[in-house]
Amino acid sequence: MIWIDAILQGVLAGGLYALFACGLSLMFGVMRVVNLAHGDFAVLAAFLAYSLISATGVSLLWAAVVTVPVFAVFGYLVQRGLINRAMTGGPLPPLLATFGLSVLIQNSLLQGYTADSRALAPGRIGTASLRLSGQISLSYLELLILGLAVLVLGGLELYLSRGRTGRMLRAASDDPEAASLVGGDPRHLYGIATALAFGTLALAGLLFAARSSVSPSSGPSELLFGFEAVVIGGLGSLWGTLLGGIALGVAQNVAGQANPAYTLLAGHLLFLLVLIVRPEGLLPRRSIA
C-alpha cells in the first residue's frame, strides 16, 4: 500500500512539475529558446504575490488573478524588448541573456527580501485531504494543482490547435519567414508565446509557494525540474510535458519511499535514462501542440 501511495503522491507532484515545465516547452516549441531564468521568474511571481498579499490582505486566489495576467504582459515585454533582439544573434545570445536575467532576479530578490524562505497561505485547502484508506490520503491542494495543470495544458493545446493566433504560433514554429508571408509578425507571435509561458510560470510559482515555500535561490532547481519534465516528455510537446512531469514526480516519490536520500537522484537518473534510451522523449513533438 505504501508503494501505491508513493505512486499517487508522485502523480500529484507531477502536476506542479508539468505546470512549471509547460512554459519552457512552449517557448522551446515555438522559438527554440531555452529560458534559463524560467524558475527565477516563477519565484519572482511568488514573491510579488507575497508582497501583494502582505500589503493588501487579499487571498491567494485574488493575488493569482492579479499576478498571472501581469506576468503575461511582462513576458510579452521581455520577449519584445530583450529575447527577440538576442535571437537575431543565433541560439547562444538568448541563453546568455536569460542567464543574465536569472542572476539579476536572484540578486534583486536577495536585496529586497533577504535569503529567508517565504510561503503563501493557501487557506483551508492547504491542510485538507481526501482519505482513500488508512495509509493513503491525497491533499486537496495537490489535487487542485494537478487539475489546474491538466486544465492549463488542455487549454493551451486547444488554443494552439483551434485558435487563429495559436495556429499562427505553430506556423511560426515551422517557418517564421513563411509566417510573415501570410501576414504574421514573428516578433509579435513570439511575444504572445512568451506571454503564455510567463502566465503559466507565474501560476506555477504561486502554487509552489503555497505548497511549500520559496527563497530567492529556489529558481534554478525549479528550472531543473521543469527542464527534466520537458525532456522526459519530449521537447516542445505539451501533453508530453504533463507525462514527463508525472514520470518525474513518480520516480522521485517511489525512490524517496525506498530511501529519502534517493528522491532527487532518482529524478535525475530517469532524465538521463530517457536521454540515452529515447532522446526524443516519451511523447515526441509533432508540432508544438
Partner 1 sequence: MSALLQVEDLSVRHGQLLALSGLTLSVDAGQVVAVIGANGAGKSTLLETIAGLLPAEHGRVLLNSENVINLPAHRRLRRGIALVPEGRRLFPSLTVRENLLTGQYRRRPGPWDLAAVSELFPWLPERAGQRAAALSGGEQQAVALARALLGNPRVLLLDELSLGLAPTVIAAVYRTLPGIVTQGTAVLLVEQDVSLALRHADHVHCLLEGSIELSGPPSQLTAEQIEAAYFGVSREAT
Return the residue matching grid coordinates 492579479.
66
Amino acid code (one letter) for 42: A
Q: Among residues 186 and 245, whose Cβ is nearest to partner 1?
A: 186
Closest to partner 1 by CB, 38 vs 285, is 285
Residue closer to partner 1, measured from CB, 174 or 280: 174
Among 75, 184, 219, 244, binds partner 1 (CB under 8 A): 184
Is the distance from CB of 232 to CB of 24 less than 8 angstroms?
Answer: no
Measured CA to CA in angstroms, residue 197 lies from 14, 83, 209, 221, 250 at distances of 18, 13, 18, 18, 25
For partner 1, the closer of residues 130 and 178 by Cβ is 178
Pull the grid cell for residue 83.
Answer: 529575447
Q: Is 278 in the site for partner 1 (CB under 8 A)?
A: no
**Residue 183 C-beta: closest distance to partner 1, Å:** 3
The secondary structure element, H or E, covering residue 224 is: helix 219-233
Contact 169, 30 (CB under 8 A): yes
C-beta of 171: minimal distance to partner 1 in Å? Answer: 5
Min CB(238)–partner 1 separation in Å: 14
C-alpha neighbours within 13 Å on the C-beta side of residue 94 = 20
Nearer to partner 1, 39 or 176 (CB): 176
259-289 burial code (b ≥16 CB/10 A, e <16): eeebbbebbeebbeebeeeeeebbbebebbb
SS3 136: coil
Q: Does 88 contact partner 1 by CB under 8 A?
A: no
Nearer to partner 1 by C-beta: 152 or 160?
Answer: 160
CB nearer to partner 1: give 61 or 158: 158
Note whether 207 and 16 are within 8 A (CB): yes
Query: Scanning residues 134 to 173, which ones bind partner 1 (CB under 8 A)?
Result: 164, 167-168, 170-171, 173
Query: Residue 263, interface with partner 1 (CB under 8 A)?
Result: no
Q: Distances in Å between the alpha carbon of 94 and those of 65, 134, 217?
A: 29, 50, 21
Give the one residue of 55, 183, 260, 277 binding partner 1; rule: CB under 8 A.
Answer: 183
Q: How far is the CB of 172 from partner 1 (least distance, A)?
A: 9
Count of residues in the chain: 289
Q: Number of residues in contact with partner 1, rule: CB under 8 A?
A: 19
Taking the complex as a whole, how short is the minimal distance between the CB of residue 285 and partner 1, in angstroms?
9
Asked if residue 287 binds partner 1 (CB under 8 A), the reply is yes
> Rounded to the nearest whole angstrom, what is the least distance from the CB of residue 161 to partner 1 in the complex?
9
Binding site for partner 1 (CB under 8 A): 164, 167-168, 170-171, 173-175, 177-185, 286-287
